[in-house]
């Protein structure tokens, strides 16, 4: 893309936005980004975004946590120093397994939850002191913004967006 121009179309209703996204997709135009003040159900489907794989990562993080808990309890309580604590059997990990289940469960949840959240932050590139990326402050309050890159078809896109009920259409230079 040699051009660095984008069109910002503003909407003030999520239903109108959904129809506009569908109209733009029907013209086979690329939507760079949509900014919303709140989640709009079905927007990802309308835009054709791939489903998230975050749940799959969480599953593997959970298994990691479970494995860690099994290793830890086995190493500490059975291998390293198998003391007789209140008559609990410590001949093998299995004979004392029920006592380890609470920690196994908690570590599974701990790993799954925290590593998934960190994954989400990394994939979404969110961190403290990160510079906010919203192109217009109104998109955090009551406006929806669709951003479409321009490739020498500015007039055509503008005409299409005007028909979809946009309340404001700006052509801006992307820095």
Partner 1 sequence: MYQFSGKLKTFSLALIIVGLVGIAYGFYSAPKTVEEAKEIIAQQASHGDSHATSHEVAKTDEHKDESHSAKEGHHEVVKDAHATADTHGEHHDDAHAEHVLHQLKNKPWSALYVSLFFFLGITLLVLTFYAIQRVAQAGWSIVLFRVMEAITANLVPTSIVMVLVVISAVMHWNHMFPWMGEGIFDPTSPNYDPIIDGKSWWINVPGWAIRSIIYLAIWNAYRWFIRRNSIKEDTVDDNNKTYKLSYNVSVGYIFLFMITETLMSWDWIMGLDPHWFSTLFAWYVLASLLVSALTVIAFVTIYLRSKGALPAVNDSHIHDLAKYMFGFSVFWTYLWFAQFMLIWYADIPEETTYFAMRFNEYNLPFLAMVVMNFVFPILLLLNSDFKSIPWFVVIGGIVILAGHYIDIFVMVMPATVGAQWSFGIPEISSLLFFLGVFIYATFNAFAKANPIPVKNPFLGESEHYHYYNIEHRGEGSGDHH
Residue 41 beta carbon to partner 1: minimum distance, rounded to whole angstroms? 7
Residues 27, 148: contact at Cβ < 8 Å?
Answer: no
In the set 1, 54, 55, 76, which binds partner 1 (CB under 8 A)? 55
Q: How far apart are CA 119 and CA 113, in angstroms?
A: 10
In the set 1, 27, 59, 63, which binds partner 1 (CB under 8 A)? 59
Beta-carbon contacts of residue 39 (< 8 Å; ≥ 6 apart): none
Q: Of the two residues 158 and 164, which places its CB atom closer to partner 1 in the complex?
A: 164
| Number of residues lying near partner 1 (CB under 8 A) | 12
Q: How far apart are CA 91 and CA 78, in angstroms?
A: 7
In the set 26, 28, 38, 41, which binds partner 1 (CB under 8 A)? 41
Query: Which 104-163 positions form the footprint of partner 1 (CB under 8 A)?
Result: none
Look up residue 77 and give its DSSP letter: I
Q: Helices (H), strands (E): how many in the chain? A: 5, 4
Cα dihedral sign, 161-163-165-168 = positive
Site string for partner 1, 70-99 (x = CB under 8 A): -----------------x----------xx
Q: Applying CB under 8 A, which residues contact partner 1?
A: 15, 18, 41-42, 45, 51, 55, 59, 87, 98-99, 101
């Amino acid at each position: 893309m040699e051009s660095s121009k984008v069109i910002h179309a503003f909407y003030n209703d999520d239903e109108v936005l959904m129809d506009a996204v569908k109209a733009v997709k029907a013209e086979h135009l690329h939507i760079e980004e949509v900014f919303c003040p709140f989640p709009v159900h079905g927007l990802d489907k309308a835009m054709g975004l791939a489903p998230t794989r975050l749940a799959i990562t969480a599953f593997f993080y959970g298994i990691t946590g479970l494995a860690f808990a099994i290793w830890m309890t086995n190493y500490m309580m059975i291998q390293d120093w198998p003391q007789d604590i209140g008559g609990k059997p410590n001949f093998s990990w299995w004979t004392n397994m029920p006592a380890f289940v609470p920690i196994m469960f908690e570590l599974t949840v701990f790993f799954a939850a925290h590593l998934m959240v960190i994954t989400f932050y990394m994939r979404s590139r969110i961190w403290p002191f990160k510079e906010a990326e919203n192109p217009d402050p109104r998109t955090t309050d009551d406006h929806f913004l669709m951003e479409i890159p321009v490739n020498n078809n500015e007039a055509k896109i503008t005409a299409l967006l005007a028909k979809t009920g946009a309340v404001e259409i700006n052509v801006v230079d992307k820095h």
